[in-house]
Amino acid sequence: MPKLTFHGHATFSIETDDGVKLVIDPFFHDNPAFSGSVDDIEADYILITHGHYDHVADLIELAERTGATCIATFEIASFLESKGLNASPQHIGGGVQYPFGYVKLTPALHGGMVALPGAESFSTFPAGLLINFTSGERFHHAGDTGLITDMQLLNGKVDVAVLPIGDRFTMGPNDALTAVDFIGPEVVIPCHYDTWPPIEQDAHAFAEMVGDRAQVQVMAPGDVYDF
């Protein structure tokens, strides 16, 4: 089964059963919740939900060092290709079959600026990630988003859902609870909280709110979850 590692904020890595390494929203150097070394992070694929600094700060460095294929919206992928990096463009509602599974970009409601050096003129739609692994597990990273009714379309299609709960810039706990009802996952992993004071939240209180709707896996940075 895939192994999910939480690196703090909204950054995760996944290693599949056959050793393929994925990194989602690489934010390491300036991530106050990350205590490791970015040099220890390996990637075959880097998946990007949107272009804000706290999701792409280490994207170019990681992609250059590892040679990973970057999966992102067309605009971000086009910029990365212009820098000589490997990229696979997609867009909202579209999916691509990769060796590790099928990746579909889902709608998210958030800002579209691309905070990469030289990409100041680029903007794009934010996205969530729906991954159907070849081993059968179904995983959804909602990205940075407010609550949207489109999440109801994911009902019955997600085993493990990563949802932001920080409020202010994304859903807060109350809206994330509604998102759990909309999506109906077996497991919920909260993210995008406690990185800085403006998004402090009590993840264990959120777990109590969810109750028996789903299993809530509260992960500290560095924790690994097998799913």
225: tokens are 């979850």
List 6's β-bridge partners, or say none.
12
| Other C-beta atoms lying within 10 Å of the C-beta of residue 103 | 22
Residue 206 CA to its chain's centroid (Å): 19
CATH of region 3-220, choose from 3.40.1160.10, 3.40.367.20, 3.60.15.10, 3.40.50.170? 3.60.15.10
15 to each of 45, 73, 152, how far by Cα in Å?
Answer: 10, 23, 28
Domain spans in the chain, listed from the N-terminal domain onward: 3-220
Q: What is the mean pLDDT of each run of 10 residues along the chain (227 residues)?
A: 97 97 98 94 98 98 98 98 98 98 98 94 95 98 98 98 98 98 98 98 98 98 96
73 to each of 49, 107, 112, 227, how far by Cα in Å?
Answer: 8, 11, 11, 27
pLDDT on residue 121: 82
pLDDT in tens, 108-157: 999 999 999 999 888 999 999 999 999 999 999 999 999 999 999 999 99
Angle at which helices 203-210 and 173-183 pack, to 10 degrees? 40
* Rounded distance between C-alpha atoms, residue 163 and residue 210, angstroms: 12
1: tokens are 């089964």
Contact yes or no for 49/140 (Cβ under 8 A): no
